[in-house]
Chain A
């Protein structure tokens, strides 16, 4: 018997996971649709215009995709973090690799398709605009954005494996603290780099982002590589974490 991967076991697990989480996925999708639709509609009413600037729309679709990713993947994260109730699931005859693969397909690939489907529906209903498809068909052009999304989603994945209770909240809070810490260190470093600008304050420079005084090229490169590599690295490490999980 192949203990690493079997198509039959993979199929069974995929069916089990989708059947079990279908309701949450559907309810989450309806909620995401309602929020996006409401924001667009309220903005339309507020601006008293026929349409909204595409840049505005794409801006908040891009921001909202992060909480949506966490929301729609929450059932998987909850399974990973729960102790007693889902204990039995760890004894399902499947390999850790099959678990990770199913989780990846559901939470990364299917989630992306669903989110774009929701955004496209909102765009078509309110603006009859297909421009959003450009972002889907030019995946590599926007790879940093996608990588950042999947990177953050995968941080929640690893958070679910570390924290046993309220994993999503704790991971979110830890992520926030970590970013504040990195930003602090980064500001101190930039004070050393830009010696001619006295007393850079917290927020004057943004790690990985644009700021008024700019960022050195290599810092941007580091940020990008961190995001590109972080996503697969976290998924690989979560494979080992699942193998070692004890309940």
Chain B
């Protein structure tokens, strides 16, 4: 679905944002793209969609060179931006004007998603709040049924019930032919939603793995104050004891905690990288 090889990109000549970056994002998954501020998450999404062009290396998006921005590729990509302005249309008119651009758009789906978010299609877009506008765009983006759906901070501005509605809708929207990439800082919003995690840092991808690989290699668990554990990659104290991330030597089953994984990756970057590099040797 998306293949990035030896990607180099910089906004300023002497300050490369990416260097020799390699990444594969297959279809049939919801990919979570994480990274600290300024790590280049949005830039990577723009490179994948063709809004920015690489300085070096190559990107294949849906089999196309994204920098050519060919309509054949663009009709299968929908990008939900963190910042946006919308035309002064009603929701109905917005749908009428833009649906034709996407051959797989399904009107009923759009209406269902709007209902789910409790938004009426006769409302004017500019009379809606930021969060409501975002819900309209999420509904529209999902109804386009594009092969690639890119979402930059989709849950920003959504209220608490809407976040769970979002998770529910997203979980039902993925199929084997679709690839969804969600970039966010709100990692809790991605709980139980994403199938793979990609973490960016310092010009490169430091981790890009399916959830099942991560939980096979790492164990996320709570320890009481008097329990001890070796090979701790990261720990965080709480009233009940410590939340820890350890290497999963005993093949324990645990539930991924994205925030803990993120912190563990930055606390023990090389250890985590080596662990996943050697995944085929164990």
Q: In the complex, how many residues of chain B place their beta carbon closer than 8 angstroms to a beta carbon of chain A?
A: 27
Which chain B residue has the least Cβ–Cβ distance from A2? B71
Answer yes or no: B97 CB below 8 A from chain A CBs.
yes
Answer yes or no: A23 CB below 8 A from chain B CBs.
yes
Answer yes or no: B255 CB below 8 A from chain A CBs.
no
Of A23, A87, A96, the residue contacting B88 (CB under 8 A) is A23
Distance in angstroms between the alpha carbons of A19 and B86 in the assembled complex: 12
Of A1, A94, A244, the residue contacting B101 (CB under 8 A) is A94
Distance in angstroms between the alpha carbons of A65 and B187 in the assembled complex: 55
Instruction: Specify which of A19, A84, A93, A244 lies most central, judged by the most chain B CB atoms within 10 Å of its CB.
Output: A93
Q: Is the CB of B71 within 8 A of A91?
A: no
Answer yes or no: B100 CB below 8 A from chain A CBs.
yes
Answer yes or no: A196 CB below 8 A from chain B CBs.
no
Q: Is the CB of A12 within 8 A of B101?
A: yes
Residues of B37-54 at the interface with A, using a CB-CB cut-off of 8 Å, are: 46, 49-53
Contact with B along A200-215 (1 / 0, CB 8 A): 0000000000000000
Answer yes or no: B89 CB below 8 A from chain A CBs.
yes
Q: Is the CB of A88 within 8 A of B52?
A: no
Question: A23 contacts which chain B residues (CB < 8 A)?
Answer: 88
Which chain A residue has the least Cβ–Cβ distance from B80? A88
Answer yes or no: A233 CB below 8 A from chain B CBs.
no
Question: A244 contacts which chain B residues (CB < 8 A)?
Answer: 53
Q: Is the CB of B53 within 8 A of A20?
A: no
Distance in angstroms between the alpha carbons of A23 and B100 in the assembled complex: 22
Distance in angstroms between the alpha carbons of A91 and B102 in the assembled complex: 12
Answer yes or no: A55 CB below 8 A from chain B CBs.
no
Tell me the dominant secondary structure on chain A's binding face: helix
Which chain B residue has the least Cβ–Cβ distance from A92? B101
Distance in angstroms between the alpha carbons of A9 and B101 in the assembled complex: 7
Please tell me the size bucket of the interface on A. 20 to 34
Answer yes or no: B83 CB below 8 A from chain A CBs.
yes
Q: Is the CB of A95 within 8 A of B93?
A: no
Question: A85 contacts which chain B residues (CB < 8 A)?
Answer: 83-85
Answer yes or no: A49 CB below 8 A from chain B CBs.
no
Q: Is the CB of B102 within 8 A of A93?
A: yes
Q: Is the CB of B83 within 8 A of A84?
A: yes
Q: B80 CB to closest chain A CB, in angstroms? A: 8
Q: Is the CB of B81 within 8 A of A243?
A: no
Distance in angstroms between the alpha carbons of A87 and B98 in the assembled complex: 15
Question: A86 contacts which chain B residues (CB < 8 A)?
Answer: 85
Which chain B residue has the least Cβ–Cβ distance from A84? B83
Q: A89 CB to closest chain B CB, in angstroms? A: 10
Question: B271 contacts which chain A residues (CB < 8 A)?
Answer: none
Answer yes or no: B190 CB below 8 A from chain A CBs.
no
Q: Is the CB of B51 within 8 A of A87?
A: yes
Distance in angstroms between the alpha carbons of A19 and B92 in the assembled complex: 13
Which chain B residue has the least Cβ–Cβ distance from A5? B71
Taking A87-B81, A90-B51 as given, write out 12 further A-B residue pairs in contact, using a Cβ cutoff of 8 Å, ordered by the A residue number: A1-B72, A3-B71, A3-B72, A12-B101, A88-B84, A91-B51, A92-B74, A93-B71, A94-B71, A94-B74, A96-B69, A246-B51
Give A contacts to B, CB under 8 Å: 1, 3, 6, 8-9, 12, 15-16, 19-20, 23, 84-88, 90-96, 243-244, 246-247
CB-CB nearest 5 A-B residue pairs: A93-B75, A93-B74, A85-B85, A93-B71, A3-B70
